[in-house]
C-alpha cells in the first residue's frame, strides 16, 4: 500500500512532519477579489457529451478535461494542500490533506439547493449543511476538505466545521459571515477534523490561489481514492453554463451514492425550482449507482447559481442538469475503487414502483457472486438469475416473473422460465462482451465508456416501472485499497 501512497503523492502532497501548506499555483489568470473579470474561457470552452470519448492515456484525458472545464460566470475556485497528524493515530505521522474553496465572486445567492445522505450517522458538515438549507439563507462560498470526513469524532465536529467556515468568510471578507459558507468533508470516519490548521493555513492559501477560469483543479483536489478527476459541462442556448464536479470511489450506494458533487451555474433559476430539479435528478443519477453497497455518512450534492444569465428555459436547464448528473454518476462508478468493469442494468416492465425497480437493479450489481463473475469475464448467468430471484422472493413476493426475459450484451439468455445458452459459441459471445467492456483496475484514466449490458424485462403487462442502475465488478484491487485505506 505504501507504493500507492507514493503514487498519489503528486496529488495529495505529503511533505513534512509539520503542517505545511503549499498553494497549487496555476498558470491560468487568477481572480482578484473585488474585480469583475469576463471569463473568456467560457466563450471558447467545449461541452462534455452524454458519453465521453475514448482516451489513449492520462495525458489525453487531462487535456480533454481542461478544454471542457471553463467555469460559469461569477465563480472562482481555489485549492491548497498541507499535512496533518491525526489525534487518533499519531503513529501514522504526517498525512496529506487538501482544501478547496468555491466562491461566488459577484454576490451571495439565494438560489442554491442541496441533497444530503440519509445515513443515520451523518457527518458534522452534513448537519451544518442541513441547517443552512433549513434556514433558507444565502450562500456565498463552499469549502471542501478531503482525508478526514469529520463524522462522529471525539471532538466538537460541528464546531470544527463552523471554524473552517469562519476562516473562509474572513479570508474572502464575506459580509454574511460563516453562515453563508457551506462545508463538506470526506475521508476517514471517526477522526477529528484538523480545523485549526485548515483554518489558519490551508483556507487562506486556497483563497489566495483563486482561479476564475477552470474548475479542473477543484475536481482534482476533492479526490480521495479516486483515480482521476471527474467534471462535466453544458452550455445552454442562451449562453448560460452548467459545470459539475464530483468525487467518489468507495462507500458508494444510493440514497446518495463516499460521494460529493458540486454543480455551478450562471443561470438564474429560482430557489424552489432549483431544489425540486435537484431532488428529482438525484434519484435518476446519484441514487441509481452502487460500487460496494455501503452508503456513506458524508454524501452531498449542492447546486449553486450565480444569477449572471437571465431568461433560461427551465426545461432545457433540467435536461442539461440530468445529463451532467448522470454523466458524473457514471464517472464515479467507472472510477470506483478497483473497478475493472461497469455494469449497466436496465429494468423494464417491473411490477412495482420505480424505487423498487432501482432497488432490484442495485441488488443485482451488489451481488458479490455476480460481481466476481463479471470481473473474470465469466458469463455465469445463473448468478444473475439467482440475484433476481433472491430479491423478488424477499421483497416482492407478489411480483410475477413468468414473462421475464434476461439479456446479456443484447443476447437473450433467459426466456419463458428457462436459460437459452446452448453451444460454445454463445458462451464465447457472452464472455467476449464482458472482456470488451473491461479496463485495467489500476488505470489512472478512463480508456472507454463501455459497459456490461444487462437487461431485465418482466414482460409487457406485468408492470410499468423502469430503472437504469450502474454498478461495478469486484476485483482484488478493491480489497487492497480498503485493507489499508487510512494510510
Is 337 annotated among the ligand-binding residues? yes
**8 A C-beta contact, residue 71 and residue 231:** no
Contact partners, residue 281, CB within 8 Å, separation at least 6: 318, 321, 322, 325
- The whole-angstrom separation of Cα 197 and Cα 88 is 16
Is 487 annotated among the ligand-binding residues? yes
Is 247 annotated among the ligand-binding residues? yes
- The whole-angstrom separation of Cα 267 and Cα 308 is 6
List active site positions. Answer: 258
Percent of residues in the chain assigned helix, strand, coil, to nearest 5: 35, 25, 40
Contact partners, residue 239, CB within 8 Å, separation at least 6: 309
Is 482 annotated among the ligand-binding residues? yes
Cell numbers standing for residue 293? 453497497
DSSP lists the bridge partners of residue 233 as: 243
DSSP lists the bridge partners of residue 94 as: 85
- The whole-angstrom separation of Cα 210 and Cα 331 is 26
**8 A C-beta contact, residue 135 and residue 181:** no
Task: Look at residues 288, 299, 296, 408 and name the one whose alpha carbon lies nearest to residue 359.
Answer: 288
| Biggest CA pair distance of the chain | 72
Is 109 annotated among the ligand-binding residues? no
Cell numbers standing for residue 372? 466476481
The per-residue b/e assignment along 116-136, b for 16 or more CB within 10 angstroms, e otherwise, is bbebeebbbbbbbbeebbeee
Is 349 annotated among the ligand-binding residues? no
Where helices occur in 124-227 by DSSP H, the ranges are 124-135, 157-172, 195-197, 203-208, 216-221
The C-alpha torsion from 166 through 87 and 121 to 482, rounded to 10°, is 120
Binding site for substrate: which residues? 224, 247, 258, 337, 482, 487
Query: Which residues does the annotation place in the binding site?
Result: 224, 247, 258, 337, 482, 487
Amino acid at each position: 500500500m505504501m507504493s500507492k501512497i507514493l503514487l498519489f503523492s503528486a496529488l495529495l502532497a505529503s511533505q513534512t512532519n509539520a503542517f505545511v501548506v503549499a498553494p497549487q499555483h496555476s498558470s491560468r489568470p487568477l481572480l482578484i477579489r473585488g474585480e469583475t473579470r469576463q471569463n473568456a474561457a467560457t466563450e471558447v470552452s467545449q461541452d462534455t457529451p452524454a458519453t465521453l470519448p475514448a482516451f489513449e492515456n492520462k495525458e489525453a484525458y487531462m487535456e480533454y478535461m481542461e478544454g471542457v472545464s471553463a467555469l460559469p460566470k461569477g465563480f472562482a475556485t481555489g485549492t491548497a494542500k498541507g499535512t496533518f497528524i491525526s489525534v487518533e493515530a499519531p503513529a501514522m505521522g504526517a498525512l496529506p490533506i487538501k482544501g478547496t474553496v468555491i466562491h461566488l465572486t459577484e454576490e451571495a445567492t439565494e438560489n442554491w439547493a442541496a441533497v444530503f445522505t440519509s445515513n443515520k450517522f451523518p457527518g458534522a458538515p452534513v448537519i451544518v449543511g442541513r441547517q443552512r438549507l433549513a434556514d433558507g439563507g444565502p450562500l456565498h462560498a463552499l469549502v471542501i476538505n478531503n482525508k478526514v470526513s469529520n463524522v462522529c469524532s471525539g471532538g466538537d465536529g460541528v464546531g470544527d466545521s463552523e471554524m473552517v467556515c469562519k476562516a473562509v468568510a474572513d479570508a474572502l471578507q464575506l459580509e454574511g459571515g460563516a453562515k453563508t459558507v457551506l462545508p463538506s468533508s470526506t475521508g476517514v470516519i471517526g477522526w477529528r477534523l484538523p480545523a485549526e490548521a485548515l483554518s489558519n493555513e490551508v483556507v487562506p492559501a486556497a483563497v489566495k490561489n483563486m482561479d476564475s477560469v477552470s474548475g479542473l483543479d477543484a475536481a482534482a483536489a476533492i479526490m480521495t481514492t479516486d483515480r482521476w478527476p471527474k467534471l462535466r459541462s453544458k452550455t445552454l442556448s442562451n449562453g448560460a453554463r452548467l459545470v459539475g464536479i464530483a468525487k467518489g470511489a468507495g462507500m458508494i450506494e444510493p440514497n446518495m451514492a463516499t460521494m460529493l458533487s458540486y454543480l455551478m451555474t450562471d443561470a438564474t433559476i429560482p430557489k424552489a425550482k432549483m431544489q425540486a430539479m435537484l431532488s428529482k435528478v438525484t434519484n435518476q443519477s446519484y441514487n441509481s449507482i452502487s460500487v460496494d453497497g455501503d452508503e456513506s455518512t458524508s454524501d452531498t450534492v449542492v447546486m449553486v447559481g450565480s444569477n449572471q444569465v437571465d431568461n433560461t428555459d427551465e426545461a432545457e436547464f433540467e435536461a442539461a442538469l440530468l445529463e451532467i448528473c448522470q454523466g458524473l454518476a457514471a464517472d464515479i462508478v467507472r472510477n470506483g475503487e478497483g473497478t475493472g468493469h461497469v455494469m449497466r442494468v436496465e429494468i423494464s416492465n417491473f411490477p412495482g414502483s420505480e424505487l423498487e425497480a432501482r432497488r432490484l437493479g442495485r441488488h443485482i450489481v451488489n451481488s458479490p457472486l455476480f460481481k466476481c463473475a463479471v470481473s473474470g469475464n465469466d458469463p455465469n448467468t445463473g448468478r444473475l438469475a439467482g440475484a433476481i430471484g433472491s430479491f423478488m422472493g424477499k421483497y416482492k413476493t407478489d411480483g410475477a416473473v413468468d414473462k421475464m426475459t434476461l439479456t446479456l450484451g443484447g443476447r437473450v439468455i433467459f426466456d419463458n422460465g428457462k436459460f437459452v445458452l446452448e453451444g460454445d459459441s454463445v458462451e464465447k459471445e457472452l464472455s467476449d462482451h464482458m472482456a470488451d467492456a473491461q479496463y485495467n483496475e489500476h488505470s489512472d484514466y478512463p480508456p472507454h465508456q463501455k459497459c456490461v449490458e444487462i437487461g431485465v424485462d418482466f414482460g409487457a403487462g406485468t408492470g410499468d416501472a423502469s430503472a437504469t442502475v450502474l454498478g461495478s465488478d469486484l476485483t482484488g484491487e478493491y480489497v487492497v485499497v480498503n485493507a489499508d485505506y487510512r494510510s
